[in-house]
Amino acid sequence: MTGSLTTHILAARYLRDDENSFTDVCRRVADAIGETQREKETFFSEMHSLRFLPNSPTLMNAGTENGQLAACFTLPIGDSLPTIFDALKWGALIHQSGGGTGYNFSKIRPKASPVRELDGMASGPVSFMQIFNQATEIIRQGGRRRGANMGILNADHPDILTFIHAKEREGDLANFNISVMVTDAFMACIRDGKQDSVWTTHPATGDEVTVGDIWDAITGGIWKNGEPGVLFYNEINHHNPTPLLGEIDAVNPCGEQPLLPFESCVLGSVNLTRFVKEDHIDEVGLKQTTGIAVRMLDRIIDKNTYPLSRIETATKRTRKVGLGVMGVHDTLLMLGIPYDSAKGRVLCGHVMECITTAAVETSHVIAVESDSFPAWDNSRWNKCPMRNAALTCIAPTGSISLLADCSPGIEPVYSYAYTRRHTAGSSFAMLHPLFAQDLATAARDRFSSQPEVDQEINAVISHLRRTGTVQDINWLPASFRRLYKTATDISWKDHIRMQAVFQPRVHAAISKTINMPHSATDDDIAAAILFAWGSNLKGITCYRTGSRREVVYAIGEETEPWPCICSRPPEG
């Protein structure tokens, strides 16, 4: 990436007062996490080479007075003012330190229920979510970014329709992602056409809510503005590594980490583009980096400064870490493989299998060297010593993928020329380097004079920035258009198929957006959710193009003050 964007991201989020470069950040983090000089140099090398990066709180806070290094937290909320406002206070401390928080509000009694202590009526979970939202608004995460929340309500809560409609107006509950937690029984009703079945009844008013009422609200909300997400309770808990510790009913703000109450998790991602060797993936190098990454993430658990002693206790009881990947689509482009192809999915499944297998092997070795996680005896791992109850997930990698100069997570490229908004307070015009290189080659092959080549290249980029696609530019070779599909060119089924390839090969869950065209209907959204459930996903997030005004990625804009081409690693 060009110096302007890299410098801006580094200065806004990662550089401390005495630091000037990415090298300085890597050195500070490695020195804070490593135990021996050899370990410090190993961690430094993996980060500085951009083969692996830990989550943003680690890059921001390691070696500083803050010292809070985890990204993901979940907090319980009870049905009394003390427990609700305890959670509010705890969440504020987490946001201040740089983390994001997930809450399930289902224990709060529904609106209009009697409150005997006050001789009054309950206001319901959504009213308290508004208080949490406002608190988040005024607390900056470590002074460097806004806090983020996940608000969850179980589908059988009597206020479920109020909850689903809470974000109908864009800007409301802006500091929350919201998701409905559904069971297999609920989804079976949808599959079997039993929408008229009563799913929940208000205990005070007797008002009934049917399966169809909830389903229509979910699909309608997604059609209108991309929310709510849907979480699949049974699939999440079927893979709960420590079921005797309790059920999992909450996830972090982006949904990739289902966690028990008070648990936190530190994330990190392997940059797959750094392991492309001509026409294949360097699996030896990939496994080596995976092992180092697991050791670093596990070390962070002990080096971390926790916002609450209860969080430290819960976290160290299971020692969950979240190692994932970024640069998936860029890797496929480098290998000449379309994102929405069977060949691409086979490769991705194999790569993730290699990573998770290497992560498990490393965790086993660390357990033999040190000890297994304290809850190991009653876990699903109790036949083999393990240091960590869970090891892999797929995070969105929004900021660290910019540092690593690669596509985020497992997402397809949104557009090969677009405006990236709200990036550390600024906007940037982006042009994908692989696309730009291959476009120049295609233009030279097609047109005879350099002025004509330049004219056509500029026309394609301008068209791409306006429309987000090159599929309708007929002079481009079919093979070029097949390879360079964007997120909005790829069908929702192929989005879900890619997520489904990764899911059985990761321990936790996956942050992924299922892009749908502007023309998508409620029925299309309903079909996508059913397909995701049938594909054994743990959750799904859909976005219909154009359904929101405020977005991070924007097309239809010709100029921006910060033009750049993503093409090289951070300076220093």
Active site residue: 72, 189, 254, 393, which one?
254
pLDDT tens per residue, range 343-393: 999 999 999 999 999 999 999 999 999 999 999 999 999 999 999 999 999
pLDDT of 129 higher than 70: yes
pLDDT tens per residue, range 431-454: 999 999 999 999 999 999 999 999
Please state the separation of Cα 110 from the chain's center in Å.
30
Q: Give residue 572's pLDDT.
A: 43
Specify whether the CB–CB gap between 177 and 150 falls below 8 A. Answer: yes
- Integer angstrom CA distances of residue 193 from 171, 186, 187, 196, 197: 34, 11, 10, 8, 9
At residue 351, φ and ψ (nearest 5 deg) are -65, -45
The DSSP H or E segment spanning 250 is: strand 250-251
pLDDT tens per residue, range 251-306: 999 999 999 999 999 999 999 999 999 999 999 999 999 999 999 999 999 999 99
Active site residue: 46, 227, 256, 456, which one?
256
Q: Topology of domain 72-251, per CATH?
A: Anaerobic Ribonucleotide-triphosphate Reductase Large Chain (3.20.70)
Q: Give residue 562's pLDDT.
A: 34
Active site residue: 252, 271, 304, 515, which one?
252
pTM of the model: 0.94
DSSP string, 176-197: EEEEEEE-HHHHHHHHTT-TTS
Measured distance CA(513)–CA(501) in Å, rounded: 15
Is the fold of 12-67+263-404 the same as that of 72-251?
yes
Measured distance CA(412)–CA(499) in Å, rounded: 11
- Map residue 41 onto helix, strand or coil: helix
Please state the separation of Cα 226 from the chain's center in Å.
15
Q: Give residue 552's pLDDT.
A: 60
Residue 467: both structure tokens together: 């429309």
- Map residue 301 onto helix, strand or coil: helix
pLDDT tens per residue, range 58-102: 999 999 999 999 999 999 999 999 999 999 999 999 999 999 999
pLDDT tens per residue, range 318-330: 999 999 999 999 9
Mean pLDDT over each residue of the chain, to the nearest integer: 93
Is 256 annotated in the active site?
yes
- The CATH-assigned architecture of domain 12-67+263-404 is Alpha-Beta Barrel (3.20)
pLDDT of 571 higher than 80: no
pLDDT of 555 higher than 70: no
pLDDT band at 428 (very low <50, low <70, confident <90, very high): confident
pLDDT band at 118 (very low <50, low <70, confident <90, very high): low
Among candidate residues 413, 442, 412, the one with its CA nearest the CA of residue 430: 413
Domain residue ranges of the chain, discontinuous segments joined by +: 12-67+263-404, 72-251
DSSP string, 46-89: HHHTTSEEE-HHHHHHTTSSS-----EEEE---SSHHHHHHHHH
Angle of the 211-225 helix axis to the 184-191 helix axis, nearest 10 = 90
